[in-house]
Amino acid sequence: MIPRYSRPEMVSIWAPETRFQIWFEIEAHALDAMAELGIVPKDAAAKVWDAHRNAPPFDIARIDAIEAETKHDVIAFLTHVSERTGPEARFLHQGMTSSDVLDTCLAVQLARAADILIADIDALLAVLKRRAFEHKLTPTIGRSHGIHAEPVTFGLKLAEAYAEFSRNRARLLSARADVATCAISGAVGTFANIDPRVEAYVAEKMGLTPEPVSTQVIPRDRHAMFFATLGVIASSIERLAIEVRHLQRTEVLEAEEYFSPGQKGSSAMPHKRNPVLTENLTGLARMVRGYVTPALENVALWHERDISHSSVERYIGPDATVTLDFALARLTGVVDKLLVYPERMMKNINRMGGLIHSQRVLLALTQAGASREDAYKLVQRNAMKVWESDGALSLEELLKADPDVTHYLSADEIADRFDLGYHLKHVDTIFGRVFGATS
């Protein structure tokens, strides 16, 4: 975790205090279940909960000190719990294995992290939708290969992003369900020393589903799928970030990241407004993607478990979720405040002197009776003049002045082929598909 790329709510999920609180809840709920089943004294569980509520917060330093001695994190925690909550603590953890606590805790943490990320996406979707409708009919040139193709609208670009992040939201819900499982099944998953009903009880209390079959651990294909999904979302972030970076290029300048009124670009150069937020997002996407492969390599644990996955998860659990949370929020801010320049968009549309409409004229000539070869020659010879003028000449005017062209098409018919509206007639259809509404 890099402080400048971290937000407190997500960071707090990974704080020792949170972890110990979750550990306690898992153990205490399990105790409740054991009391209900008559395995431990009825009042032991209640006493532990009471003592916990009246005790001071967990003493992290104290737990660390015990761990330094015992070299075992869960034992250190239980020892400290015993110090805090009295003799009934001895009933805690009976028949359980450390991984029951650790893995169920990780499930709670990842589920909470997913909830934040889902809320992040919801916030992003809201601003994408607002700005998409704002620019639903703002014409801008569509580009393939970085080269002008045909007109689209700026709202369509945002609608595409909206659709993409809607998919990512659904994927994240699936990924959340994948990791939100509870295992309280003992040393090798056989429930040898613990009743399966304890697991069911704890699962319900912690908002998880019971793991159908665990080894010593919850299987890691679940976590692999989770982190792979984060990698896909990061790649979608990169896509939109790169779109903004392109639009902000000096020569294009159709949109810009927000600059506050008093803000200086760079000393004396007013043009020096750099898309640093979206460049930063590009880098953050690389990191979140970089965590996918370690998560995939974690799946093939040996037999009923080895502990190679643990160090990986100590890194990527926080790093991937904190970074992605930050990135989603930053992207939302960028879209929310993005400076959009419709006039410049129109200027760029027109900068080729109308060449982007040449295909429609070609078609019209053919339909008017010209052979395809002739039509092509007629368009081409005028188009080349426009091209060589670097957009100073107008294709429409040249065509209107070319008698071989006007032989087939009237001036009005020619003008009609240069109508932007032609390209935008289905924008409503598409908005209806994406947003379920066209306004």
Catalytic residue among 145, 267, 303, 439: 145
Catalytic residue among 12, 72, 174, 266: 266
Residue 368 to residue 412: CA distance in whole angstroms? 14
When the beta carbons of 130 and 315 are compared against a second copy, the nearer one is: 315
> Is 52 noted as a catalytic residue in this protein?
no
Compute the chain's Rg from CA coordinates: 31
> Is 371 noted as a catalytic residue in this protein?
no
> Closest approach of Cβ 9 to a second copy, in Å?
20
When the beta carbons of 50 and 350 are compared against a second copy, the nearer one is: 350
Nearest C-alpha neighbor of 131 from the set 294, 340, 322, 289: 340
Residue 268 to residue 257: CA distance in whole angstroms? 19
- Alpha-carbon distance values, 43 to 35, 194, 437 (Å): 8, 19, 58
> Closest approach of Cβ 48 to a second copy, in Å?
19
Residue 182 to residue 137: CA distance in whole angstroms? 50
> Closest approach of Cβ 369 to a second copy, in Å?
15
Residue 261 to residue 366: CA distance in whole angstroms? 53
When the beta carbons of 48 and 320 are compared against a second copy, the nearer one is: 320
When the beta carbons of 376 and 418 are compared against a second copy, the nearer one is: 376
Contacts of 142 (CB under 8 A, 6+ apart): 148, 149, 150, 151, 152
When the beta carbons of 170 and 415 are compared against a second copy, the nearer one is: 170
Nearest C-alpha neighbor of 317 from the set 171, 56, 101, 110: 110
Q: Would strands 209-210 and 181-182 be described as parallel, antiparallel, or unpaired?
A: parallel
DSSP symbols for 19-32: HHHHHHHHHHHHHH
> Closest approach of Cβ 119 to a second copy, in Å?
20
> Closest approach of Cβ 238 to a second copy, in Å?
4
Residue 236 to residue 220: CA distance in whole angstroms? 25
Q: Which residues are catalytic?
A: 145, 266
